[in-house]
Amino acid sequence: MTHTFATGAAFLDRSGALVAADAGFLARLGLPPDDPTRALGARADASPALRALLAGEGPAVARIEGDGGAVELERVPAPSGALLLVRSPLAEEWLEHSIRSQGLTRLVVGVAHDIKNPLNAMALQLALLTDKLAGNGEAAAASAGHLGALREQIGRVNEVVRRFLDVTDPSAPLGYTDLGALVADIACLYGHDARRRRIELAADAPRASVRTRCDPGRAARLVLALFSRAMSETPEGGRMTVRAATEAEHAVVALEHSAGDPDPETGYYTDVVAAAADALGGALAVQRKGGTVGLTLYLPRNERA
């Protein structure tokens, strides 16, 4: 079974010669396209792990140095040779996070719905109580402030749950995803974290004008991943800005934040988002300038926007 995050593949015949190799395989291992077999053999002479893998004598997966850093190489035996798959050493971690994300999304959506139901019942009971007190002028006046405060807090919790559902389980009944509304909801949900760490968080997210035709769930996950990384790497007392806008054929989400220490827990997010954006027909641009980091996500714009 080929690995989900394989970025290149090649096939070895029984003699160990590369019968075929795609561009990703050659690029990740830094092999010349004119004579990859000789170059791979020279690499194996200097790497016992690679030599054992190619000969089928060692573990099925080996970590070796590729072009630009370490890569994992997997050997899958076949009757006429072996298939070689190259991938990032973080691939397993990415897969684990993906599985966890899928499970948590289903879980939190159910929890959110379970919260909304009693909140709605509480709001109904407050309305009935207000009607009953209306006939008693003194009691109505004395309780008006308390009942109003309860209604306000129920409304606030309902709004937080609504934003949470729109981010974790978005829908696109009109055929597009509103990136402005998505950015506004995510910024609101991160408001507490920003205030706790004294981060100045500013969002420019016009609603109903920045639309993408991408799948709403995937678009939400990409924006949420970038937001999560940017927030985790913004130092305490720093600043973070996010805006949603349209540029030519793209719907754009641009984040800029004060540069802080890289977060090992979210450091690979940009690689995943870049690959996903490319698969959706978009792109991710990362720019570091002075003390700031810029992350710009480009997604295909809805033609009807």
Across 62-86, b (16+ Cβ under 10 Å) vs e yields bebebeeeebbbbbeeeeebbebbb
User: For the domain that residue 187 is a member of, what is the CATH number?
Assistant: 3.30.565.10
Whether 216 and 102 share a structural domain: no
Q: Which of 168, 200, 222 is the last residue of a domain?
A: 168
Angle, vertex CA 236, rays to CA 231 and CA 239, nearest 5:
60
Is residue 150 helix, strand or coil?
helix
Last residue of one domain, picked from the residues 168, 198, 220: 168
pLDDT for residue 88: 79
pLDDT at 13 over 80: yes
pLDDT of residue 95: 66
Per-residue pLDDT reduced to its tens digit, 181-231: 999 999 999 999 999 999 999 999 998 889 999 999 899 989 998 999 999
Q: Does any domain span residue 1? A: no
**CA distance to 38, 79, 94, 173, per residue, from 45 (Å):** 11, 25, 31, 59
> What is the average pLDDT value for the chain, to the nearest integer?
87
Position 304 pLDDT exceeds 70: no
Q: For the whole prediction, is pTM greater than 0.75?
A: no
User: End of a domain among 46, 63, 89?
Assistant: 89
Asked if residue 196 and residue 150 are part of one domain, the reply reads: no
Pick the most confident of 78-92, 112-126, 227-241. Answer: 227-241
Would you say residue 182 lies in a domain? yes
Judgement on whether residues 201 and 126 belong to the same structural domain of the protein:
no
Domain that holds residue 46: 6-89
Asked if pLDDT for residue 2 goes beyond 80, the answer is: no
- Helix residue ranges per DSSP H, 46-136: 48-55, 91-133
305 occurs within a structural domain: no
Structural domain contains residue 122: yes
